[in-house]
Structure 1
Amino acid sequence: MVPPPPPAAGRAGRNLTAAIGVGASLGALVLVSLLVYRPAFLVVVGGAVLVSVVELSRALRAGRAAPPVVPVLVGSVAMVALAWTRGATGLVVVFLLTVLAVLLWRLADGPVGYLRDASTGVLVALYVPLLAGFAVLLLVPDDGATRVILFIATVVGNDVGGYAAGVLFGRHAMAPTVSPKKSWEGMAGSVLACVAVATPIVTLGLDGPWWGGVLFGAALAVSSTLGDLGESLIKRDLGIKDMGDLLPGHGGLMDRMDSLLPSAAVAYLLLSWVAPA
């Protein structure tokens, strides 16, 4: 009996059909949570943060680090909750308390490897729940659903525009030692797609200026790309391909959060200026 052919993979080395299906399902989940009952998005964010914390912590063990997971998980839930109820002040205060908890928790395992384990624990707390907390801050105003949709749609535009332009026109590698498939032509496609997505939403959905949409789109193209490159750098340093295998065609959930996390902070800060609530 002849075995079935392997699933078709795109130039990115992924099963493109599975990736599109998973991406569409995640997008539908986010939209339903935002449009049906806004606080339900907190459950989506909280669940994504907890899974990503576990995936990143496990991946860091490949580098012989053992970040304290329990205090980061507890702090993650608290950061999401306090960002919703107490705003930016609550988010920052809980982050600082989480850092203190990580440092104290690791004391129980003795001095050997303390700096390595404690510092990676702080990195996980900063990288995942703190940055994700900015997505919750976007949700807080009455028009928060629109702000979150703008943020996520723009990041998706970065991925789609960058992929399409990279496949069609990519010739000049951006960072060949970190992510060989990323090109400057793909980056240009990302910027154009992000601006095209962001500008009408900022102007029509948030009553912001047109130049605010252009600035927002260009800034998120940069932050999304840097987030993707940053995670790729971590994975290359650890010698792994993906942070996990939860999502077919994508890898782990953390592999989808890499662009979103830094972009959440950039989106919150920019919208506070160009389209204040």
Structure 2
Amino acid sequence: MTKVTDDREQRSGAAEPGRPPDDVRDAAEPDLPTSAGGGEPEGASEGVGEKKPSRAGRNLPAAIGVGVLLGAAILVSLFTVRYLFIGVIAIAIAVGTIELSRAFRSADIRIALTPVLVGGQAMIWLAWPFGREGALTAFVVTVLLCLLWRLPGGASGYVRDVGSSVFAAAYLPLFASFAAMLVPPDDGVGRVIAFLIVVIASDTGGYAAGVLRGRHPMAPSISPKKSWEGFAGSMTAGIVAGALSLAFLVDGHAWQGVLFGMAIVLTATLGDLMESLIKRDLGIKDMGDLLPGHGGLMDRLDSLLPSALASWLLLSLFVPA
């Protein structure tokens, strides 16, 4: 699961001694020029003789290398035994859940990790043979287990911890179960690839347009480095990718692909902004450090999770299995 872009946001809290303020990952946008009020002047945080960071705000070669490896793993699973892709989803969500739990713990929030991990796997694997009914049944049982799991901890923070556990169960495995539901139809490989292609096109188009034309901040209070020009690039690339994907991969129509692309760009962008808010609230830079040049796995899943739901809904409507 790849993303070729990364934003840098200053965290709202104070920096640690001797360390510049942490930046927060975001999607599909580079640093805006300082005239737009979106970031530091170039070189402002660098000492004499230090290497100036790239406009992408990260180690781009490492990010590209990791992205290629992740993409290869996905393609191999799809073109060998396509149901292996559900296993890829399950592993990614388990890792993402652990990363999210650790991030919340930094703010003294305790997610009921065992019920969310076990229930999350049930949601994903039951979505394969039983569809929505399987995933939603597993989700409801997971919520009940979270309520019970936290009882021994007493009243202090009970609502906070249970609410966070339910949020984690919905945000990761429940959303991801809709990606698993793309696999079973006869054209499941095409559905999954269409979903991934549009998300990748959205990220790539946003990055390119932001680098070349980014001037006007889109959501300065959430992500000062995300621009309207970048969003326009995401929308353009997403529409083209959607039209081509539905016409050639799942026997749909180009006009359906246009709507599909628009919807996925919107959900991918909202997913990026939502995770930016989570990290800003927690005062952290990344959800983890598993992937060089990317941060944590959760930092790559942010745009994919809500887009999986939108993809399943629209593809079920446009191209019934």
- Smaller-chain TM-score bracket: over 0.9
Q: How far did 1:6 drift?
A: 7.7
Q: Partner residue of 1:236? A: 280
After TM superposition, the structure 1 = structure 2 runs for residues 80-229 of structure 1, keeping only pairs within 5 Å, are 80-229=124-273
1:128-174: CA deviation from partner (whole Å, max 9, x where unpaired): 00000000011121111110111011111111110000010000000
Q: Partner residue of 1:75? A: 119
**Cα distance in 2 between the residues matched to 1:180 and 1:186:** 12
1:10 aligns with 2:54: yes
**Cα distance in 1 between the residues matched to 2:156 and 2:66:** 42
Q: How far did 1:60 drift?
A: 0.9
Secondary structure at 2:225's aligned position in 1?
strand
The correspondence for 2:109, drawn from 61, 65, 74, is 65
The correspondence for 1:47, drawn from 71, 91, 94, is 91
The correspondence for 2:296, drawn from 237, 252, 260, is 252
Maintained 8 Å contact 1:53/1:128: yes
**Cα distance in 2 between the residues matched to 1:204 and 1:157:** 16
The one-letter amino acid of 1:251's match is G
Maintained 8 Å contact 1:19/1:249: yes
Q: Which moved more, 1:182-191 or 1:12-21?
A: 12-21
Secondary structure at 1:174's aligned position in 2?
strand
Aligned residues: 273
Q: Which moved more, 1:37-46 or 1:120-129?
A: 37-46
Secondary structure at 2:182's aligned position in 1?
helix
**Cα distance in 2 between the residues matched to 1:108 and 1:202:** 51
TM-score, with structure 1 as normaliser: 0.96
**Cα distance in 2 between the residues matched to 1:108 and 1:198:** 49
Give 1 or 2: higher helix fraction.
1
Q: How far did 1:7 drift?
A: 8.0
Q: How far did 1:39 drift?
A: 1.1
1:201-245: CA deviation from partner (whole Å, max 9, x where unpaired): 101221112111000001101100000000000000110010000
**Cα distance in 2 between the residues matched to 1:10 and 1:49:** 30
Q: Which moved more, 1:207-216 or 1:120-129?
A: 207-216
**Cα distance in 2 between the residues matched to 1:198 and 1:169:** 23
- Alignment gaps of 5+ in structure 2: 1-48
Q: How far did 1:67 drift?
A: 0.9
Q: Partner residue of 1:56? A: 100
Secondary structure at 2:150's aligned position in 1?
helix
Over aligned residue pairs, what C-alpha RMSD do you find?
A: 1.3
Q: Partner residue of 1:20? A: 64
**Cα distance in 2 between the residues matched to 1:9 and 1:218:** 33
**Cα distance in 1 between the residues matched to 2:307 and 2:99:** 20
Maintained 8 Å contact 1:195/1:213: yes
1:100-124: CA deviation from partner (whole Å, max 9, x where unpaired): 1111111121111100100000000
Q: How far did 1:63 drift?
A: 2.0
**Cα distance in 1 between the residues matched to 2:71 and 2:159:** 39
**Cα distance in 2 between the residues matched to 1:200 and 1:211:** 10
Q: Which runs of 4+ in 1 moved over 6 A?
A: 5-8
Secondary structure at 2:87's aligned position in 1?
helix
**Cα distance in 1 between the residues matched to 2:245 and 2:310:** 16
Q: How far did 1:270 drift?
A: 0.7
1:242-261: CA deviation from partner (whole Å, max 9, x where unpaired): 00000011100000000000
Identical columns (%)? 56
Q: How far did 1:10 drift?
A: 3.1
**Cα distance in 1 between the residues matched to 2:52 and 2:297:** 21
